[in-house]
A and B are shown apart, each in its own frame.
Chain A
Amino acid sequence: MNDSRQKAGDPHRCGRGFRQDLLSGYLDGELTQGDAQKVRLHLEDCAECRRLYDELRDLQGLARSTVFRMPTDDQWREMPVGGASRIARGLGWLFLMVWAVLVTGFAGWQLLVSPQNLFLKVLLFAGVAGLALVFLSALLDRLRHRRTDRYDGVQK
């Protein structure tokens, strides 16, 4: 493939085959003297590159002139919860869930082997199963909410 074909297929070259990424380097003052001189001379002759350069410079100027809203001192004081506290809370929940599963399982087993009548067993099972399903539903909603909540992680 010859050089002109390569140039024709490159979207970052102008119609005259000039490398337009050099315009960015020129805009930023990051070119060697020789390359900067090449760009200067090219800009004098090429309207396409001159227009591109002017637009890039205007956009850069607009970005640099932006003033962002900054937090107040009160907002800075709202420090995030420390790592140790997060770990302790996570472990606490884990132990609590393990405890709940074991206690519920043991109670269920005792109910199965107990000599109570079938109606009472079904009644108790339905109540416990209902509570478990409500808890599971709330837990799933909470997990989904955590994935999509825009303010998750923001310390109030």
Chain B
Amino acid sequence: MSRDQHAPETGDRGVESSDAQLVARAGHGDAEAGNLLALRYRQAAYLLALQLTRHPDDALDIAQEALLRFFRTLARFDRRRPVRPWLMQIVRNLVRDRGRRRKVRREDAPAVDVIGEPADLELDPEARTVQHELQERLWRLVGELPPPCGEILVLRDYQGLTYQEIAADLGIPLGTVMSRLHKARALLRAAWHHAPEERP
């Protein structure tokens, strides 16, 4: 596992097709267009699944399943809509389904190292190690939050969704987004202080 999470995977060989064009072509059975779409969005799907499950095998399985479901529902997909939110919604639904089916497993699941080395090359080796440990601890604590709190934190603080997008995705009022997000952050902060090791 060595690929940069932020590196786009277009596979377009220099010619950027829009999502709408690719969706239209894939909808007509163009396998290459389907491959390009999958290449473009598979890392984002994996990343969201990983942040929500914290398990690389689960995340890969969910991302693959989400892509398959996306292509199966392509006929119903409104081409004027952006692909990413639709795909991310499928990922979240799959994560929730899996969480419900495997509650026992989630409780028993050991912490798996899913965090790479810090990207900040200006940090010295010791500082990078400390930051890596802090990030591992932070994401472990995020994983221990109640699912609605963990999910909304991931959507906002890592996926970068706006409150409007979160409200639409989760089907909750806009005002609830801010209060739930604050509750999640307050819980995370309390957990962070509960067993203090290092402060960020």
Q: How far is the CA of A69 from the CA of B118 in the complex (A)?
A: 11
Alpha-carbon distance A21/B199, docked complex (angstroms): 22
Instruction: Give the bracket for the number of chain B residues in contact with chain A.
Output: 35 or more
Which of A103-111, A115-123, A146-154 lies on the face that meets chain B? A146-154
With A and B bound together, what is the CA distance between A95 and B47 in angstroms? Answer: 40
Residues of B within 8 A of A (CB): 1-5, 42-43, 46-47, 50-51, 55-58, 60-61, 64-65, 68, 102, 104-105, 108-109, 113-120, 131, 134-135, 138-139, 142, 153, 156-158, 162-163, 178-179, 181-183, 185-186, 188-189, 192, 199-200
Q: Is the CB of B43 within 8 A of A154?
A: no
Known: A150-B105, A154-B61. A24 touches B189 (CB 8 A): no
Q: Other CB < 8 Å A-B pairs besides A24-B178, A150-B57, A152-B105, 19 of them?
A: A21-B182, A28-B181, A56-B189, A59-B192, A59-B200, A62-B200, A63-B135, A63-B139, A63-B142, A65-B119, A65-B131, A67-B115, A70-B4, A70-B43, A80-B61, A80-B64, A147-B105, A150-B105, A153-B61
Is B138 in contact with A68, judged by CB distance below 8 angstroms? no
Q: List residues of chain A with CB under 8 Å of any chain B CB.
A: 11-12, 20-25, 28, 30, 52, 55-56, 58-72, 75-76, 78-80, 147-155
Contact partner of A12 (CB less than 8 A), chosen from B115, B120, B153, B186, is: B186
Check if A155 sits within 8 Å of B61, measured CB to CB.
Answer: yes
A59 touches B138 (CB 8 A): yes
Residues of B within 8 A of A28 (CB): 156, 163, 181
- 6 closest Cβ pairs, A-B complex: A21-B182, A69-B1, A24-B182, A70-B3, A67-B116, A62-B200
A68 touching B200, Cβ below 8 Å: no
- In angstroms, Cα B104 to Cα A52, docked, is 35
Checking A55, A70, A154 against B5 with a beta-carbon cut-off of 8 angstroms, the contacting residue is A70
Chain A residues near B60: list those with CB within 8 A: 71, 75-76, 78, 154
Given the known inter-chain contacts A12-B182, A55-B189, A58-B199, please indicate yes or no for A66 contacting B158, CB distance below 8 A: yes
Min CB gap B116→A, angstroms: 4
